[in-house]
């Protein structure tokens, strides 16, 4: 298996290339930094529900759908991606075990860079001292290959991420993201570049896999990547009904936000809920006189039965579509 240390690449290659490798049975580790800013939907994400497409288009941000799991990702310069493409036979049978195994080189990389982190199943790596998410990961099968991808954030634009998500209260989302997300430069107070991170990632992945250095990208992979760009950014692919409903926006493992607005009795009512470890930690209800409903619901377990019972006891079941759908 080969290691491809590519540095900055544009034209969405930081997503299409690992797909091309998987389809061509080219196995190895790709280390790359996006030259462009764009959004990558997870395989099951419902674009119309999770993205503010009008805002995305006005900002001129491309969108692509990848063929592996994980959530919606904002890719941009200042992020180092590790993309592992290996035969399925080399990956643990259970996906949880695969995440745990292939996260280990990333944990060691952060440690060597000066940040103590820990793996938070199933997708996240968080800073130990403050539990802020500092890396998101995704995995899955593409044809005969197992693919594991993730990023090391050198820097990250929280405001832009909030701008492109479909939510009526973007300021609250910015606040929650700022409290729960982090990046290398924030944690250590100094500037990092791809060249500081990629060699360490390569060394750490070599400890668990037989990898050899390879210069340049195979031509057949480049050609296929260009074709895949058309396929994975097509309207048909982006707006495919995956069946997934985005009741909550995931900030990190265990932290979710619900932002929804509805017309109720001729008034525009807006709800913002912060859910932590499956319980309502904070609730803001604007546009309706509910006599301390915001405070009363705090601490409630966030599931359909609990929410329904809570509202029915207060003769407010007409609010259920706002809290749950």
pLDDT over threshold 70, residue 68? yes
Q: How many CB atoms lie within 10 A of CB 128?
A: 11
pTM above 0.95, yes or no: no
189 and 46 within one domain:
yes
271 and 133 within one domain:
no
Residue 167: per-residue pLDDT:
84
What is the mean pLDDT of the segment spanning 44-71? Answer: 93
Residue 216 binned pLDDT confidence (cut-offs 50, 70, 90): confident
Residue 224: per-residue pLDDT:
98
Residue 291: per-residue pLDDT:
67
Q: How many CB atoms lie within 10 A of CB 163?
A: 19
> For the chain, percent helix, then strand, then coil, each to nearest 5?
35, 30, 35
Choose between 204 and 318: higher pLDDT.
204
Question: Using CB atoms within 10 A of its CB, is residue 277 exposed (0-12), middle (13-18) or buried (19+)?
Answer: exposed
Residue 247 binned pLDDT confidence (cut-offs 50, 70, 90): confident
pLDDT over threshold 90, residue 300? yes
Strands 267-276 and 255-264: antiparallel
97 and 70 within one domain:
yes
> Looking at residue 267, which CATH number applies to its domain?
3.30.390.50
Residues 6+ apart with CB under 8 A from 312: none
Residue 117: per-residue pLDDT:
97
pLDDT over threshold 90, residue 215? no
Are the CB atoms for 33 and 205 separated by under 8 Å?
A: no
pLDDT over threshold 80, residue 12? yes
260 and 166 within one domain:
no
pLDDT over threshold 70, residue 178? yes
Residue 164: per-residue pLDDT:
95
Angle between helix axes 194-206 and 95-113 (nearest 10 degrees) is 130
> Looking at residue 170, which CATH number applies to its domain?
3.30.930.10
Rounded CA separation 139/95 (Å): 8
127 and 18 within one domain:
yes
314 and 259 within one domain:
yes
Residue 143: per-residue pLDDT:
92
Number of domain units in the chain: 2
Q: What is the DSSP letter of 42?
A: -
117 and 30 within one domain:
yes
Residue 259: strand pairing partners: 272
Tell whether 249 is covered by a domain.
Answer: no
184 and 308 within one domain:
no
Tell whether 296 is covered by a domain.
Answer: yes
Nearest CA-CA partner of 176 in 151, 159, 188, 152:
159
Inter-CA distances, 87 with 3, 104, 159, Å = 15, 19, 38
Rounded CA separation 134/128 (Å): 10
Q: Dump the DSSP string for 137-154.
A: EEEEEETTEEEEEEEEES
pLDDT over threshold 90, residue 219? yes
Tell whether 64 is covered by a domain.
Answer: yes
What is the mean pLDDT of the segment spanning 251-273? Answer: 88
The two structure tokens encoding residue 160:
């832009």
Burial code (b: 16+ CB inside 10 Å, e: under 16) for 228-266 equals bbeebbeeebbebeeeeebeebbbbbbbbbbbbbeeeee
276 and 145 within one domain:
no
Residue 287: per-residue pLDDT:
86
Rounded CA separation 116/292 (Å): 41
The predicted-structure confidence for 136-177, as pLDDT tens digits, reads as follows: 999 999 999 999 999 999 999 999 999 999 887 888 899 999
Whole-number mean pLDDT of the chain?
93
Containing domain of residue 296, as a range?
Answer: 254-323
What is the mean pLDDT of the segment spanning 279-302? Answer: 88
The predicted-structure confidence for 224-244, as pLDDT tens digits, reads as follows: 999 999 999 999 999 988 877
pLDDT over threshold 90, residue 259? no
218 and 152 within one domain:
yes
């Amino acid at each position: 298996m080969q290691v491809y240390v590519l540095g900055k690449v544009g034209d969405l290659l930081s997503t299409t290339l690992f797909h091309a490798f998987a389809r061509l049975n080219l196995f190895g580790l790709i280390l790359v930094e996006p030259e462009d800013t764009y959004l990558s939907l997870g395989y099951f994400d419902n674009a119309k529900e999770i993205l503010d497409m009008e805002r995305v288009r006005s900002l001129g941000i491309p969108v692509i759908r990848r063929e592996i799991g994980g959530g919606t990702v904002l890719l941009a310069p200042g992020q180092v991606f590790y993309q592992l493409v290996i035969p399925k036979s080399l990956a643990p049978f259970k996906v949880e075990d695969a995440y745990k195994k292939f996260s280990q080189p990333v944990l060691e990389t952060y440690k060597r860079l000066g940040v103590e982190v820990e793996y938070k199943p199933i997708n996240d790596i968080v800073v130990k001292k403050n539990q802020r998410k500092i890396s998101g990961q995704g995995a899955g099968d593409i044809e005969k290959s197992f693919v594991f991808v993730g990023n090391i954030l050198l820097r990250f634009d929280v405001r832009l991420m909030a701008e492109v998500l479909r939510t009526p209260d973007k300021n609250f989302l910015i606040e929650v993201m700022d409290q729960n997300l982090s990046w290398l430069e924030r944690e250590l107070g100094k500037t990092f570049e791809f060249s500081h991170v990629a060699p360490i990632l390569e060394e750490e992945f070599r400890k668990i896999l037989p990898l050899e250095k390879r210069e340049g990208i195979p031509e057949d992979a480049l050609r296929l990547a260009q074709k895949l760009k058309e396929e994975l950014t097509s309207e048909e692919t982006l707006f495919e009904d995956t069946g997934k409903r985005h009741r909550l926006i995931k900030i990190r493992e265990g932290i979710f936000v619900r932002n929804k607005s509805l017309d109720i009795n001729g008034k525009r009512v807006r709800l913002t809920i912060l859910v932590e470890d499956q319980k309502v930690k904070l609730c803001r209800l604007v546009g309706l006189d509910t006599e301390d409903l915001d405070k009363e619901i705090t601490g409630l377990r966030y599931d359909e039965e609990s929410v329904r019972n809570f509202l029915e006891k207060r003769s407010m079941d007409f609010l259920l579509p706002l809290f749950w759908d």
